[in-house]
Amino acid sequence: MNGRKIPPVWILALPWLTFGMVSGFVLVTLPNVLGAQGIPGARLGVAVAVIGSPMFWNFLFAPLLDVRFNRRTYALVFGILGVAATAFTVLHMHQLVVVEIVMLIGFLSVCMYQSAVGGWIGSLIGENQDSKLGAWSTVYNLSGGGIGTMVSGYAIEHWNITTAAALCFAVFLAPLLAFIWIPSVQVGTVRLGENFSRFVREIGALVRRPQVLMALAMFILPSASFALTNVLSGWSGDFRASEQFVSLIGGGGIIAGGIIGSLLVPILARRIPLRALYLSIGLVGASFTLCMLLLPRTEAVFGLVFLGENTMQSAAIAAAAAITFEVIGTGNPLAATTYALLIAAGNLPIDYMAAVDARGYAWHGISGALLTDALLSAGACLLLVLLFRRRLLAQPQRGAAQVGDLSRGISSTCSSV
């Protein structure tokens, strides 16, 4: 490092607020505004799906973040580009095709921004800070979603469109001021022109690393996806819950569950290795979901299910982030690529399990959805326990398995991060 003092983890994680705020705008404010303009629901769903799709495929471009320039530069450029695209979208809400194109580029940019930040800060922290950074980055990500939704929604509804766009730009970009206090790391990124062939080989070696393969298996399977959180509000009628109650518990439940679930992870990680903790969260969450089958279908039970599922999902996301930072280690020249790959893997079951839970609902209503989600989650956890039982309780040494040739030969082909 360059001799500067590393700030506390809660400051290191602040840049994740920007990703959360743009995500809140894309997933909540944008569909709401477009729907109010009379755009048909089916067309609206396609637009949101297209714009949000980089969450799953941005890792294909992530290796660029480990080439040529330092990750601070990439984070700054992509952060500004993503927020600028958001402000531009606010100004042109009435042009759907323009919104789709510009915001697709914008959301891809903030996904790249998140990967650059994850690689940069993940290489900076010490061994005992993985769970803390995983927790705080999740808190800021989820809280940012609420902040972004409230700021953009209120500004668009109450102010003229130019002022609303300017406010969104300023507020969404503000977390990047934390870059001032976050030091660089004296490890490097590869210069593409000088060492492209070795760079490609190292990417191949990265995805074959046992730590990476184990994390990919845990994240891709629905062991701790808790996808019910994304669809449960649509089934609130089964619990006879009013729209006002759903709105109240939807906002407060996400924020409360996000904070409680995320901040539990560093406490539990003191006693339980991260991989075992991740699967434990999945098993406890599946048991909670099964218990909900025994309760009456009332408004209060809906609130309990919503809060519980959000808390469990937040804990799982924080634990997954901590595992990701642990895999990245210190001085990893492919840190951003590693981060993007594992985060994309973690997002995948949240998406496909929503469709699977919907099939369960079609089979036997809300009971079918709860049963389907719980059994598949518990089954995936038990399968992973059988596959990795010897490794789950081992405490990996952070940074002990960095990519080989590139780490040894980095001094001749690197620039500081």
Asked if 316 and 365 sit in the same domain, the reply is yes
Strands (E), 209-282: none
Q: Is residue 235 part of a domain?
A: yes
For residue 231, give the CATH number of its domain: 1.20.1250.20
- Burial letters 168-189, b for 16+ CB under 10 A, else e: bbebbbebbebeeebebbebbb
221 and 357 assigned to the same domain: yes
Is the pLDDT at 410 greater than 90? The verdict is no
Q: Residues 266, 386: one domain?
A: yes
Instruction: Confirm whether 190 is domain-assigned.
Output: no
Residues 367-389 have a mean pLDDT of: 94
Bridge partner list, 354: none
Same domain flag for 56 and 76: yes
Same domain, yes or no, for 125 and 257?
A: no
Q: Report yes or no on 349 lying in a domain.
A: yes
Are both 295 and 210 inside the same structural domain? Answer: yes
> Which residue, of 133, 148, 183, is where some domain finishes?
183
Number of structural domains in the chain? 2
- C-alpha distances in angstroms, 134 versus 8, 128, 296, 351? 13, 11, 36, 21
Range of the domain at 153: 1-183
Read off the pTM.
0.84
Q: What is the pLDDT of residues 189-248, one digit of tens each?
A: 455 544 456 666 767 777 788 888 899 999 999 999 998 887 787 788 899 988 778 867
Q: What is the pLDDT of residue 252?
A: 77
Q: What is the pLDDT of residues 137-149, one digit of tens each?
A: 999 998 888 888 8
Using the Cα atoms of residue 130, residue 134, residue 136 and residue 137 in order, give the sign of their dihedral.
positive
> Residue 227 and residue 234: Cα distance in Å, rounded?
13
Residue 338, CA atoms < 13 Å, CB-side half-sphere: 36
Q: What is the rounded average pLDDT of the residues 329-349? A: 87
pLDDT tier, 401 (very low <50, low <70, confident <90, very high otherwise): very low
93 located within any domain: yes
Please check whether residue 165 lies inside any domain of the structure: yes
Residues 148 and 202 in one domain: no
405 pLDDT tier (thresholds 50, 70, 90): very low
Give yes or no: residues 389 and 339 share one domain: yes
End of a domain among 143, 159, 183?
183
State the Cα angle at 258 between 81 and 28, rounded to 5°: 50
Whole-number Å distance between alpha carbons of 258 and 254? 6
- Do 5 and 25 sit in the same domain of this protein? yes
In a domain, 357, yes or no: yes
Contact by Cβ (8 Å): 90, 6: no
**Joined tokens for residue 208:** 């074959």
Task: Give me the phi and psi of 23, to 5 degrees please.
Answer: -60, -40
Residues 125 and 241 in one domain: no
Contact 131, 262 (CB under 8 A): no
List the beta strands (DSSP E) in 151-206: 188-190
C-beta separation of 116 from 65 below 8 A? yes
- With 50 as the cut, is the pLDDT of residue 263 above it? yes
Find the mean pLDDT for residues 291-300.
95
User: Is residue 413 one of the residues assigned to a domain?
Assistant: no
Q: What is the pLDDT of residues 148-183, one digit of tens each?
A: 888 998 899 899 999 999 999 999 999 999 999 998
**Same structural domain, 258 and 385:** yes
Indicate whether 206 and 136 sit together in one domain. no
Structural domain includes residue 410: no
